[in-house]
Chain A
C-alpha cells in the first residue's frame, strides 16, 4: 500500500497553475508508424515515461514483464511492453491492432494511436490516422527509407494528415552521424514531394536513450530543429483549421422534449455559427436563420468547429437526422454520384455493382461502386488497373447512392468528406472512403415525368406487374417451371415475359464471363431489364442461377415493395448432377468449365424466399401451380 501526501500549501498554487495550463493548447492526436523493429513501441513507452505518466505500480509490473517477455538487455526496462495490450500479441511479440495511449505535458494533452507496421494491417493504420492531426513516421537510421516508409507516408497523406514528422531513430547505432541523417532526410523528401503534407519535420532521435525526445541531445548538437516534444506542443490541430471552413453541422438528433422546443443537435464539423446567421438544410435547400445556440451551460453567442450544440431555428423547416445544416452562402455538394478513394478492409473482395450501405455522418443509404477507375499501389504510388479490391487495397472509384447525400471534398473537410461502407449481410465495416469530387449535381437531373404511368399500363392489362425470380443450381428445374408458369398465365390472358440465360447471355450480356465480378454485373443488368418490364406492366419470370444473396437483394430493391417474388428452386446437387440437362456438370467434372456453381463456385441459398420449391419431391407442374397460387394470394392476378 502506498500512502499519498497532500503537498504543502506553498506548492499548491504552482501545481494548480500547472494543471490549468496543461490543457491550454487543447488535444493533439497523432499516430506513430513504423515496423516492430523501428522502435515504435519503445518511442511511445519513452513518451509516457518521460512525461511522468507512469505510476509506481505500472513501473513495477513493467519491470517484472521485462524480465519475462522483454527483449531489452539485463535489468533494462523494455518500454515496448507497455504498449502490447493483449495476451496473445504479447506472446507473439507483435502489436496487431490499434491501441490508444494518453499523456500530457504542461502545454497539451496528447492521444497517441499506436498502429502496427505489418502489411496486412493497413486498415489499422488508416483507422488510427483517420482522427490524427499528425503522423510520426519512424525510420531506422541503419536501414533508411524502406518500402514500408513509403506505404506509411502514403496512407497518412491519403487519410488527410497535414503534418508529418520523420523521426530518424536509433541514431545511437549510427554514431549520431549528421551525414547519415541528412542522407535519409533527402531520400525521404523525394518520397513525400508529390504528396500533400503542410509540414514535414525531420528529427534525429534515440527512443531508447531519450535523445531529442524531451531533451535536446548532447550527442547531436548539430541538430538545429526542434525536439520531438517541442514540435508536438506547437503544431496546429485539425480542429483549429476546420473552424476556418464554411459552417457545417450534420444533424445527429432532433431534440423535441415538448411542443415548445424543437432543436437540432449535432457537432459542428466546420466553421462558426452565431444567432442570426442564415443556414440551409443542404439536401432540401430550405433556409432559415439561427435563433439560439442551446447548451447545458446556457445559450451561446457563437460556436465553432469541434463543439457539440443544439441549434434552434427561427422558422419551422423539415429537418431530421442525416440532414446537413450549412452556410447558406457556401453550400456543400449534394449528389448521388461522386468519385472517392476507397480503402477495402474486409476479407471478402469489393465487387463493382454490388450494393453496400454507405454511412456518412448520420446519412445512411444503399450504394454501389459503378466504376473502379484504377487501384493505387501504396508502395510505388503508381496506378494499376483492377476489376475488384482485395483486403487492404486502395482504389479510386465512382460511386452511386440511392439517395443524394451532402458532402464536401475530403481534402477540404475530413468530417464531411468521409464515409464508411457496411456489408449488408455481415454488418461489418468493409471500407473507408474519402470523397474526391461530385460527378454531377443531383439537383440538375430531373426525371422526365411520363404521362402514361406504370399504374396506367398495368391497369390496361388488368394485372399487377411482378418479378418472379427463380434461383437455384443448374438443373434444379428453374427454366422448366418458369416455362410452365408462363404457359398457365398466358392461358388466363396475362401478359408475361421470360428472361433466362438463352436470351440474355447471348445478347445483352455476351461480353460477360463467369468470374465473380462478371456474375455481379450480369445480375445487375438483368435486374435493370426486369425493372423496365415491370414498369411496362408485365409479369416477368427470371430464371438465373444468381448464386449471391447480395445481388438478389439488389434486384429486390430495384422494385417496389411486394413486386419481387423470390422462388427458391431447391434440388440436391447430386440430383442436379444426375439430371444434367445441358451436360454442364460433366464438363465441369472434366475440367472443361471453370467457376461452375455448386461445383467449384459457391451458391448462397436464399434465407427467406417468398416461395421454396423442393423439386426432388414434386412434379414441375405442381411447382408451377404453387407459383400461380402465390400470385393469386398476393393479388397480382385475379
Chain B
C-alpha cells in the first residue's frame, strides 16, 4: 500500500499547484469533463446541502477528481459520503482514507447500525438482503440524517437499461422514491433544481460517460485508483462460475473448497463476496484500456446482484438505490 499512498500524495499536490498539461485531453473527454464540471457547479450554486456519494470505485474517484477540478482553487463545497457495507475489500477502506486525507476533504462514513447489530452477512443472508439493508437502507438513513437536498452519484447511462432513461437531475420524493413515469423533462443544460421541503435530487454528473471513457480519462489525466483494478496474484475461490476473492477470515470455505492463487483483477469494486474477479494480466492503465477495447463482457456481469432478472436494477432504483 505504500506505493499507492505515495501516488495519492503526489496526485493531491497537483491541485495545490496546477501545471499546464503536456498533452491535450482527447476532444471527446474534454467535452465530457466540461459537461460534468458544469453540472457540479449548478448543484453547488442552487442547493443548500449537497453531498457527494463516494463509493471508492473508479467512477466515484473520477467524479471526485472532477469536483476537485470544478471548484479549484476552492475545495468542493460539499462533504463526501461513503455508505460502508462492512463487507468491502479491505484495500478500499485504506484507499478512501488516504485519498480524503491527502485532498483535505471531509468524508462521512455511514454504517447502518441496525444491520451491523443484526450481523447481516452476504454469505449467510444472500446478496439481495445484504444489499437492501447495508446499501439501500443505509443510504436512505444517511441522506435523511444529513438532510441533504442533493446527492451526487457516479452512475452512468451506459451501465444498465433503466439508467439510460434517468435524468441527470433526478427527482426523489420525500420518501426517496424514484418515479420513472413522472420524470421532469430535462432540456439543454437548464436543470430544474426546485424542490419542496423533504424532497431531494440525485445528480449524475457522469451520465454521458461510458466505461471506456472512464478508463481512458483515468489514463490520460493520471488519476489514482484502488490497486485491485490491476492484475495481481490473489487468493480466489470459484463459486458458480464466479471467482470470489478471499479478502478476510469471514469467508468460510465449503468442504473440498480451497483458495487458489490466481492472477486476477476487478472491473468493478464493492462488497467482496458479491464481486467477481476476472483473470487478467493487465498490470497498468494502458493494459486495462487495451483489455477494455478487446473485452467481450460488460462490467455489470461482475456484479452478482444484477443477475436475478433483467428488471432488477429498476426495482432497486425505485426503492432508493443509486
Assess the A57–B165 pair: CB atoms within 8 A: no
Residues of A within 8 A of B238 (CB): 1
B38 at the A/B interface (Cβ < 8 Å)?
A: yes
Closest 10 CB pairs between A and B?
A23-B28, A296-B69, A257-B74, A298-B20, A23-B26, A55-B298, A130-B187, A308-B37, A87-B311, A85-B161
B27 to A, closest residue via Cβ:
A26
Q: Which of A3-11, A491-499, A526-534, A620-628 contacts B (4 or more CB under 8 A)?
A: A3-11
B42 to A, closest residue via Cβ:
A252
7 sample A-B contacts, Cβ–Cβ < 8 Å, listed by A number: A4-B297, A55-B296, A65-B310, A102-B210, A109-B28, A253-B44, A297-B20
* A193–B181 CA distance with the chains assembled, in angstroms: 36
With contact pairs A4-B295, A55-B295, A86-B180 given, residues A257 and B187 touching in the complex (Cβ less than 8 Å): no
Assess the B188–A253 pair: CB atoms within 8 A: no
A61 at the A/B interface (Cβ < 8 Å)?
A: yes
* A123–B186 CA distance with the chains assembled, in angstroms: 10
- Scan B64-86; emit 1 where CB is below 8 A from any A CB, else 0: 00001111111100000000000
B196 to chain A, nearest CB (A): 6
* A195–B184 CA distance with the chains assembled, in angstroms: 29
Interface positions of A (Cβ within 8 A of B): 1-7, 12, 15-16, 18-20, 22-27, 55-58, 61, 65, 84-88, 96-102, 104, 108-109, 111, 123-124, 126-127, 130-131, 239, 252-253, 255-257, 261, 263, 265-267, 294-299, 306-308, 310, 321, 345, 357, 359-362, 414-415, 418-420, 422, 427-429, 432
Assess the B73–A294 pair: CB atoms within 8 A: yes
| Contact residue among A296, A414, A418 (Cβ-Cβ distance under 8 Å from B15) | A296
B176 at the A/B interface (Cβ < 8 Å)?
A: no
* A26–B68 CA distance with the chains assembled, in angstroms: 24
Q: Give the interface size bracket for B toward A.
A: 35 or more
| Contact residue among A126, A239, A361 (Cβ-Cβ distance under 8 Å from B187) | A126
Assess the B294–A130 pair: CB atoms within 8 A: no
Assess the B190–A19 pair: CB atoms within 8 A: no
| Contact residue among B27, B71, B184, B311 (Cβ-Cβ distance under 8 Å from A255) | B71
B280 to chain A, nearest CB (A): 6
- Scan B19-30; emit 1 where CB is below 8 A from any A CB, else 0: 111000011111
* A6–B284 CA distance with the chains assembled, in angstroms: 11
Candidate in B187, B195, B213, B281 with the most chain A CB atoms within 10 angstroms: B187
B60 at the A/B interface (Cβ < 8 Å)?
A: no
| Contact residue among A97, A123, A360 (Cβ-Cβ distance under 8 Å from B165) | A97
Residues of A within 8 A of B188 (CB): 130-131, 414-415, 418
A423 to B, closest residue via Cβ:
B194
Q: Which residues of B96-151 are within 8 A (CB) of A?
A: none
Q: Which of B2-10, B251-259, B285-293 contacts A (4 or more CB under 8 A)?
A: B285-293
Assess the B279–A4 pair: CB atoms within 8 A: yes
Instruction: State the majority secondary structure of interface residues on A.
Output: mixed
Residues of B within 8 A of A360 (CB): 190
With contact pairs A2-B297, A61-B310, A420-B190 given, residues A16 and B34 touching in the complex (Cβ less than 8 Å): no
Assess the B298–A58 pair: CB atoms within 8 A: yes
Assess the A6–B157 pair: CB atoms within 8 A: no
| Contact residue among A26, A56, A131, A265 (Cβ-Cβ distance under 8 Å from B296) | A56
* A418–B70 CA distance with the chains assembled, in angstroms: 24
Assess the A24–B73 pair: CB atoms within 8 A: no
| Contact residue among A1, A4, A100 (Cβ-Cβ distance under 8 Å from B207) | A100
B294 to A, closest residue via Cβ:
A7
Assess the B192–A359 pair: CB atoms within 8 A: yes
| Contact residue among B31, B34, B164 (Cβ-Cβ distance under 8 Å from A85) | B164
Assess the B185–A12 pair: CB atoms within 8 A: no
B32 at the A/B interface (Cβ < 8 Å)?
A: yes
Candidate in A108, A296, A418 with the most chain B CB atoms within 10 angstroms: A296
B298 to chain A, nearest CB (A): 4
| Contact residue among A65, A84, A109, A124 (Cβ-Cβ distance under 8 Å from B213) | A109
Assess the A308–B20 pair: CB atoms within 8 A: no
* A97–B165 CA distance with the chains assembled, in angstroms: 7
Residues of B within 8 A of A96 (CB): 181
Assess the B20–A1 pair: CB atoms within 8 A: no
Assess the B38–A252 pair: CB atoms within 8 A: yes
B163 to chain A, nearest CB (A): 8
| Contact residue among A19, A295, A297, A362 (Cβ-Cβ distance under 8 Å from B216) | A19
B162 at the A/B interface (Cβ < 8 Å)?
A: yes
Assess the A12–B290 pair: CB atoms within 8 A: yes
Assess the B74–A22 pair: CB atoms within 8 A: no
| Contact residue among A7, A253, A414, A422 (Cβ-Cβ distance under 8 Å from B192) | A422
* A362–B45 CA distance with the chains assembled, in angstroms: 9
* A583–B18 CA distance with the chains assembled, in angstroms: 79
| Contact residue among A23, A84, A127, A294 (Cβ-Cβ distance under 8 Å from B185) | A127
A629 to chain B, nearest CB (A): 30
Candidate in A297, A345, A428 with the most chain B CB atoms within 10 angstroms: A297
B41 at the A/B interface (Cβ < 8 Å)?
A: yes
Assess the B297–A57 pair: CB atoms within 8 A: yes
| Contact residue among B20, B34, B207, B243 (Cβ-Cβ distance under 8 Å from A306) | B34
With contact pairs A26-B27, A61-B310, A427-B196 given, residues A298 and B165 touching in the complex (Cβ less than 8 Å): no
Residues of B within 8 A of A101 (CB): 157-158, 164
With contact pairs A4-B291, A100-B208, A308-B37 given, residues A20 and B186 touching in the complex (Cβ less than 8 Å): no
Assess the B74–A256 pair: CB atoms within 8 A: yes
Assess the A4–B21 pair: CB atoms within 8 A: no
A191 to chain B, nearest CB (A): 25
Residues of A within 8 A of B31 (CB): 26-27, 239, 306
B189 at the A/B interface (Cβ < 8 Å)?
A: yes
A57 to B, closest residue via Cβ:
B301
- Scan B40-60; emit 1 where CB is below 8 A from any A CB, else 0: 011011000000000000000
Assess the A298–B18 pair: CB atoms within 8 A: yes
Assess the B69–A295 pair: CB atoms within 8 A: yes
Assess the A27–B75 pair: CB atoms within 8 A: no
